[in-house]
Structure 1
Amino acid sequence: MTTTYTVRTAGRVAQRGLALVAVLGGLSACDLSVSNPGPTQDAFLADSLSLTAQVAGVGYTLGDGMNYVVLHSAVATRELFPTGQSGQFGVEPRNWVGQLVTEEQGTPWNLVSRARWLGDQAVARLQTVLGPTAFAKHPQAAQALIWRGFTYRVLGEAMCVSIINGGPATPARDNLVRAESTFTAAITVATAANNTTLINAAYAGRAQVRVALADWAGAVSDAGRVPTSFSYKMPYYANVDEFGYNRTMWSSTAQSFYKATSAWNTWYAQYFDETRDPRVPYTLTALKGSGAFPPVGAVNWWPQAKYVTNTAGVNLTSGREARLIEAEAALRSGNVVGAMTLIDANRASAGASVAARPATLADAWTLLKRERGIELWLEGRRLADLRRWAATSTPGSLDPKEVPGAASYLEAQSSCFPVSRQEIDTNKNNVGTP
């Protein structure tokens, strides 16, 4: 049997170097022939070094998809404001006004779905090659499960529906259920492998998923196992082309010419000006963005400063988010004092000042919603938060600059990413997102 299996890893530059040596050697021998090795044989994919590369490839592809989810959801939720730059590293026109539409947003669906397929395949292959005994305690197995869990979490939070391998569209919640079971398996394997980092990542990831599934008792239990200082990041790379960089950073930086987004006219910038909270930094400049946003014209270019290098990692999960999960659970039981104690400690650990005291339960909810926005700024999580709060009519207000209206220049606000045109055209089922 032969399987075609494409893996992109940070080692592509080294591979190119080896290819160059081979080409030079061929020139010295006057042999200019080229051969196509064809699809990769399953026997080579079962090699231990190949397994490591396959697992790395899952993470790389997830990072590729997250790059688009983070940037484009940031504009739709006004974590960042569009400057009118579209095309390469830009933001598409309907996204400027809050709409995530099929004809503009195929890439997020395609890339994260590809990561999902790679994750499923990598876990299955590791189980086959290692056998059940070795798999149950192997660090690469734990890592594969971690990537698979976060891939399903991103699909469940960010996408409108779930589609598996050309099947019918089902609720996006199905991906959250798959994420929960994958993280549960990751906890078991990482514990057997004695890998503290992956144990914490698995508990933190499962806590996120249980929030989305409204299992607050389970979410609090998992969050309580995660140290406040912990974070688990999606890495990005400098030794690949610019599509392997942190896209949010590279799309708006003095190191590139794109200037596609700005902190201008966001409540995050206003809040930073008032508090200097280090979690939401931006850089004030006298420059304009590289395009034009029709209702405004040339937009003041105030680049975000959370990610200042092209290799800056994006949090997949963190201990400070775990504390906010506990705080939100406290509010759901009416415990404002307990929620504020957690929020105060969280802000202190981040180097931020103490928050104003809420006068009512509704005010406490407004504060909690702002705190999650601040803590998870530019991590691709705001879209899912806004959707779940709206679905349950959660108390508390959102800032006028992040909801449709004159202040935000949002005409509407999509709550999720649609199915791609490629999926619609190739899937035999009627899977188009309404």
Structure 2
Amino acid sequence: MNNKTTEGAKRNLTRGLALGMLFAVAACDTTVTNPGPISSEFLDVPAAQAAITNGAGRGLSDALNYIAYTGAAISREVHPSGSTGSFGITPFQQEGSLRFDEVGSHWSQAHRARVLAKEGIARIQGLDAADQDQSILARLNLYAGYISRMMGENMCNSVIDGGAAGSADVHLNDAIAYFNQ
């Protein structure tokens, strides 16, 4: 082969690749359609039981993440080493002081998990008995028990559904009830 033939082959290969890339890009549909929030009744079908339970489990994990990390900092089980600031150990927590404006997210995450589990149990129990997956319901009760226990042990009081502040023992009693299911 001579240089002229090699250059022509390279040019044809380059043109072919460019043309192929052009067709590939033109063939792609990159539009995204957001269906928006799902309707609540979609959670009232038997197929949603696992998703409801997984959501409550995720809520428990999120709440435990906040509470355990901050609790470990306050009790000096962990020490800051560059973990101050955004989701880090604040200077007040390093001193052993919990400030309301720094732990509001802990309260919110815990109550979000509590509501997800409580309402999930009600949804599953609202299904026909033949459609209820008892192993999933048992796991959901276990998550609800752990959530309630965590709140009873780590929150100074309880506020249920916007009611008056009460004893944190309310959460511990709820935990016992969930664990006994």
TM-score range, shorter chain: 0.7 to 0.9
CA distance in 2, matches of 1:103, 1:43: 36
Q: Could you tell me which residue of structure 2 aligns to residue 43 of structure 1?
A: 41
Say if 2:144 is the partner of 1:138. Answer: no
Measured against aligned partners, the alpha-carbon deviations of 1:290-321 in whole angstroms (never above 9, x if no partner) come to: xxxxxxxxxxxxxxxxxxxxxxxxxxxxxxxx
SS of the counterpart of 2:100?
coil
Residue 84 of structure 1: CA displacement? 6.1
**Higher-Rg member (1/2):** 2
1:93-104 correspondence to structure 2 within 5 Å = 93-104=91-102
Confirm or deny: 8 A CA contact 1:59 1:147 kept in the other structure.
Answer: yes
Say if 2:56 is the partner of 1:58. Answer: yes
Confirm or deny: 8 A CA contact 2:155 2:168 kept in the other structure.
Answer: yes
**For structure 2, which runs of at least 5 residues remain unmatched after alignment?**
1-25
Confirm or deny: 8 A CA contact 1:162 1:171 kept in the other structure.
Answer: yes
SS of the counterpart of 1:104?
helix
Q: Could you tell me which residue of structure 1 aligns to residue 66 of structure 2?
A: 68
Residue 112 of structure 1: CA displacement? 1.1
1:175 counterpart (165, 171, 174): 171
* Amino acid aligned to 2:48: S
Measured against aligned partners, the alpha-carbon deviations of 1:334-363 in whole angstroms (never above 9, x if no partner) come to: xxxxxxxxxxxxxxxxxxxxxxxxxxxxxx
* Amino acid aligned to 2:116: L
Q: Could you tell me which residue of structure 2 aligns to residue 256 of structure 1?
A: none
CA distance in 1, matches of 2:137, 2:158: 25
1:220-369 correspondence to structure 2 within 5 Å = none
Q: Could you tell me which residue of structure 1 aligns to residue 109 of structure 2?
A: 111
Which segments of structure 1 move beyond 6 Å, counting only runs of 4 or more? none
Measured against aligned partners, the alpha-carbon deviations of 1:170-202 in whole angstroms (never above 9, x if no partner) come to: 1111110111111111xxxxxxxxxxxxxxxxx
Confirm or deny: 8 A CA contact 2:59 2:112 kept in the other structure.
Answer: yes
Residue 162 of structure 1: CA displacement? 0.8
Measured against aligned partners, the alpha-carbon deviations of 1:21-72 in whole angstroms (never above 9, x if no partner) come to: xxxxxx737574x544233123321233322011011011110110111111
Residue 106 of structure 1: CA displacement? 1.7
* Amino acid aligned to 2:108: N
Residue 163 of structure 1: CA displacement? 1.3
Say if 2:79 is the partner of 1:78. Answer: no
Q: Could you tell me which residue of structure 2 aligns to residue 28 of structure 1?
A: 27
CA distance in 2, matches of 1:29, 1:47: 35
Measured against aligned partners, the alpha-carbon deviations of 1:123-178 in whole angstroms (never above 9, x if no partner) come to: 000001243x664x710110110001111001100111111222221111111011
* Amino acid aligned to 1:146: L
Identity of aligned residues (%): 33
SS of the counterpart of 2:162?
coil
Residue 119 of structure 1: CA displacement? 0.3
SS of the counterpart of 1:129?
coil
Confirm or deny: 8 A CA contact 1:84 1:91 kept in the other structure.
Answer: no
Residue 110 of structure 1: CA displacement? 1.1
**For structure 1, which runs of at least 5 residues remain unmatched after alignment?**
1-26, 186-434
Q: Could you tell me which residue of structure 2 aligns to residue 402 of structure 1?
A: none
CA distance in 1, matches of 2:37, 2:131: 28
Confirm or deny: 8 A CA contact 2:46 2:131 kept in the other structure.
Answer: no
Matched pairs, number: 156
SS of the counterpart of 1:105?
helix
Residue 75 of structure 1: CA displacement? 1.3
Q: Could you tell me which residue of structure 2 aligns to residue 5 of structure 1?
A: none
